[in-house]
Amino acid sequence: HLLDTSSCGPQGDVLLFLTGQQEVDTAVSLLTDRALAERPRRRLLALPLYGSLSHAAQMRAFAPPPPGARKVIVATSIAETSVTIDGVVFVVDCGWTKQRQQNPSTLHEALVVVPESRANARQRAGRAGRVRPGACYVLMTEASYHGLPAHNPPEMQRCSLAAVTLQLKALGIQNVLRFDFLSPPPPESLSRALELLFALGALTEAGELTQPIGDRMARLPLEPQLAAMLLAAEEEACVEEAAAVAALLSVQSVFTVSRAKELEAARAPFAVYEGDSVTLLNVHRRFLRQLKRHGSARAGSWCRRHRLNERVLERCSHVKAQLLRQLARRSCCASSRGWESHLAARRSGQTSVGRPAPTACGARSCAATSCRPRRSSRGASTRRPTPAPPSPSTPTRPSGGRRPSGSSSTRRPSRRRRSTCSPPPRSRGSGSPSSRAHRTSSRL
C-alpha cells in the first residue's frame, strides 16, 4: 500500500511503528528493495529511527525528503514521546511494543514483545496531523483494540527489585515487605530480591546491610550484580577492566547491526573464547586506542567500518570514568594489573594468578596515597631481610646491660639498623649447644 500510494495518493510522510531494531532494519530493506524493483521506480525514501542509531543517521529522519518523494520513517517506540517529526501525516501502528520484564525462573531481565496499551495507541496516533489533518492505521480489529489494557503495568511490578531493595536497606528501612510503595510490587519479587542480595553478600541472614560490602554496593550507581563484580575485582587488581565491562553492560549494544549473521560478522574481529564480556572489553580498548592515535574523526570512520556505535562507546568511556572516580573518592581500588594476566593464567592451566602485596587498607591495590606501601629514601621497601644468626664463637651480651666478667676486651657485636615499620628479626636456633644455652639464660 505504501508503494502504491507513494506517487498518486495523498501527500505526506508516513511514520511506521515496529517493535525493535531488527524489525526496523528488515522493513527498511524490504521497502527500499521493492521501491527499486518497481517499474517505474517509486520515489519512496525509507529511513530507520531507533535509539542505538548514530546521530547522523537519526538526523536524516528529520530532514525533508527530495521533491516528489514520500518519506517513510520506520521507528521503534522512541518516536512516541521523545521526538516530533515535521511532515508526518500518516501513522501505521503495529499494535505491539517491547517491555522490560524479569523472568521469574532465571531472575534475568529481558525485553519482551507484548501488546501495547490503549494509552500507547493514543500516544502513537497523536504523532499524525501535526501540520495538517492526518490519519492513523492500527493493525488490529476494533474488538482487539478494546481488549487492550488501559495502561502498561509499572516497572515496579514487572522488573527486578534488587536495586530498589538495596537502596531501601541503605536508607534504614528494615522491613521492606511492609513498605508503603506507590505501586505495591508482588511479595514474591521482594523475596527474590532479598535472596539475591544475600547471595551477593550485601545482606546478612537477619536482613541487615553488611559492612563494608553492602554499604559500598549501595553507593555505586549500578545493578547489584555489577556492583558486586566491581568490588570483587579489587582482590584481583583488575578494577579498571571491571569498570569498563560494567559500563558496557549498563548501556545499549555497541553494535549497530541486529541481524544474527551481520552481528556475528561484526563481533568476529574482537571475539575471544573467554566470553562476551572480554569481547566487549576488546571493543572498548581498541576504540580508545584509535581515539588516542588518530583523533575523533578517524575513530568515527573506524567505528562505521566495524559496525560500531561511536556515541555508545563514548558514553561507556564516560560511565567508566565516573565509576573509577567514585571508587577513588571512597579509597577503593582504582588501579589495574591487566586483564591479560588472568587470561594467560587460564590458558596455561594455572588455578591462581600471582597477586601484588596488599596495601594498608587490605586491598590488593588502592588509589589512596596513604594506602601505598612506604618506601625508603633509596626507593626500596622499608622491610629488610632477616639478618643472619650470630656465629657460635661470638659472645652474647647478657641481660642487664653489663658485659660478662673477663670479656672487657671482647668486641661488641654490630647491630643492624632496623626500620620502624618492619618487625624485629627472629633469631634462628643455629650454633653449638653451649652458645644456645648461654643465649637462653641471657633472655631469662
Distance CA 208, CA 204 (A): 5
Higher model confidence: residue 378 or residue 88?
A: 88
Residue-level pLDDT at 340: 54
Closest listed residue to residue 98, CA positions, set 127, 72, 78, 126: 78
pLDDT digits (tens, 9 = 90+) for 24-45: 989 999 988 887 777 556 678 8
In this structure, are residues 279 and 285 in contact, taking their beta carbons and an 8 Å threshold? no
Q: Is the pLDDT of residue 341 over 50?
A: yes
Q: Alpha-carbon distance 294 to 287, whole Å? A: 10
Cα–Cα distance measured from residue 422 to residue 343, given in angstroms and rounded to the nearest whole number: 35
Q: Is the pLDDT of residue 3 over 70?
A: no
Tell me if the pTM is above 0.75.
no
Structure confidence at residue 168 (pLDDT)? 93
Model confidence at 119: pLDDT above 50: yes
Q: What is the pLDDT, as a whole number, of residue 240? A: 92
**Please, which residues have CB within 8 angstroms of residue 225's CB and are 6 or more apart in sequence?**
162, 196, 200
What is the largest distance, in Å, between two alpha-carbon atoms of the chain? 126
Give 255-292 pLDDT, tens digit per residue: 988 778 888 898 999 988 888 999 999 999 999 999 98
Among 144-153, 240-249, 365-374, 385-394, where is mean pLDDT lowest? 365-374
Predicted confidence band of residue 103 (pLDDT cuts 50, 70, 90): confident
- Which residue from 157, 155, 179 is spatially nearest to 169, judged by alpha carbons? 179
Q: Is residue 74 a contact partner of residue 62, using CB atoms and an 8 Å limit?
A: no
Lowest mean pLDDT among 155-169, 221-235, 415-429: 415-429
Quote the pLDDT of residue 322.
92
Q: Say whether pLDDT at 254 is over 70.
A: yes
Res 444 pLDDT > 50: no
Q: What is the pLDDT of residues 299-319, one digit of tens each?
A: 888 998 998 988 899 999 999
Closest CA to 328 of 209, 201, 240, 213: 240
Distance CA 49, CA 402 (A): 93
Burial of 182 (0-12, 13-18, 19+ CB in 10 A): exposed
Quote the DSSP letter at residue 156: G
pLDDT digit string, tens, across residues 175-184 = 898 899 988 9
Q: Write out the H or E segment, with its range, that includes residue 323.
A: helix 310-329
Amino acid at 260: A
User: Considering the chain, what is the average pLDDT of its residues?
Assistant: 77
CA distance 121 to 178: 35
- pLDDT at position 162: 92
pLDDT digits (tens, 9 = 90+) for 383-434: 444 455 544 444 444 444 444 444 444 455 445 444 444 444 444 444 444 4
Q: Which of 194, 220, 225, 231 is nearest to 209 (CA)?
A: 194
∠ CA 22-249-189, nearest 5°, is 95
Per-residue pLDDT, averaged over 102-119, amounts to 84
pLDDT of residue 19: 92
Measure the CA–CA gap between 95 and 145, rounded to whole angstroms.
9
pLDDT of residue 28: 92
**In the chain, % of residues over pLDDT 70:** 70
**8 A C-beta contact, residue 337 and residue 365:** yes
Q: How far apart are CA 234 and CA 238, in angstroms?
A: 7
Contact 201, 162 (CB under 8 A): no
Is 387 buried (19+), middle (13-18) or exposed (0-12) by CB count in 10 A?
middle
Quickly state the pLDDT bin for 298 (edges 50, 70, 90). confident
Share of the chain above pLDDT 90, in %: 30
**pLDDT at residue 300, rounded to an integer:** 87
Radius of gyration of the chain (CA): 34
Residue 242: predicted pLDDT: 93
